[in-house]
């Protein structure tokens, strides 16, 4: 009888202790929850590569840190193929040009050695330049497409003024299509258009030719003004 009583008392004691531990854990969790929902100030150290700002949240919520991504910079090891202007004075390239990495457009004055950054895309941008060729001594043809994913091989076609960096859309294909390649031949812009199947598992290529004169006539001086002045 005494042995059974000791067993019952032992079980009861263990049950009480476990219940006490559970209550303490719940209390701690509740305290922790209330702590993170109370408004408070945050401070973050800044570096040349990364900056942080505070974004306001609804009432009773703390501000959250929003990362401002740096601009993609020129990487000599990851440059695209250099393209020379018709007068051979300027060279153009994309850097960095790498899978799922945002790049920017650069031109170099081969007489003075000056390098100019035409675009100022941040590293988290959804679109990136993929191909660049010269249309004439001042205008560039650029294909921009999705940065991430393997289902796209090209994008939309733009003209970029190398003097100002102003971009003007020339051709934005419908869904399931994209400009895969661009080149110039005599008085024409020659495009290779990729048409994907519904599941974007395969595509076929076709050729589209745009007369250069008609493309240039569609542009006005106002459309080629420096976008940074606006």
Q: Tens digit of pLDDT for each residue in 121-170?
A: 988 889 999 999 999 999 999 999 999 876 678 999 999 999 999 999 99
Domain 76-229, classified CATH 2.60.40.10, yes or no: no
Q: How far apart are CA 48 and CA 71, in angstroms?
A: 11
- pLDDT tens string 117-128: 999 998 888 999
Q: How far apart are CA 136 and CA 140, in angstroms?
A: 7
Residue of higher predicted confidence among 190 and 222: 190
Domains in the chain: boundaries: 1-37, 41-68, 76-229
44 pLDDT exceeds 60? no
pTM: 0.66
Element (H, E) at 143: strand 139-146
Q: How far apart are CA 42 and CA 64, in angstroms?
A: 8
- pLDDT tens string 54-86: 333 344 434 444 456 788 888 889 999 999 999
- Residues with Cβ < 8 Å from 57, sequence gap 6 or more? 63, 64
- pLDDT tens string 2-16: 555 666 666 666 676
- 7: Cα within 13 Å, side-chain hemisphere: 4
Mean of per-residue pLDDT scores for the chain:
77
């Amino acid at each position: 009888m005494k042995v059974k009583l000791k067993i019952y008392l032992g079980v009861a004691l263990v049950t009480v202790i476990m219940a006490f531990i559970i209550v303490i854990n719940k209390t701690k969790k509740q305290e922790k929850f209330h702590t993170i929902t109370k408004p408070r100030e945050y401070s973050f150290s800044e570096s040349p590569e990364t900056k942080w700002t505070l974004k306001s949240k609804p009432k009773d919520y703390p501000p959250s840190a929003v990362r401002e991504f740096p601009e993609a910079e020129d990487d000599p090891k990851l440059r695209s193929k250099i393209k020379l202007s018709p007068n051979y004075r300027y060279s153009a390239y994309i850097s960095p040009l790498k899978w799922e990495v945002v790049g920017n457009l650069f031109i170099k004055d081969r007489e003075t050695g000056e390098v100019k950054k035409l675009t100022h895309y941040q590293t988290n941008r959804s679109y990136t330049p993929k191909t660049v060729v010269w249309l004439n001594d001042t205008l560039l043809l650029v294909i921009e497409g999705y940065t991430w994913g393997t289902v796209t091989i090209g994008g939309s076609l733009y003209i970029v003024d190398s003097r100002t960096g102003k971009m003007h859309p020339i051709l934005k294909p419908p869904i399931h299509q994209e400009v895969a390649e661009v080149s110039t031949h005599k008085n024409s812009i020659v495009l290779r258009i990729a048409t994907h199947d519904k599941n974007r598992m395969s595509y076929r290529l076709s050729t589209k030719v745009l007369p250069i004169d008609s493309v240039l006539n569609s542009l006005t001086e106002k459309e080629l003004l420096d976008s940074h002045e606006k």
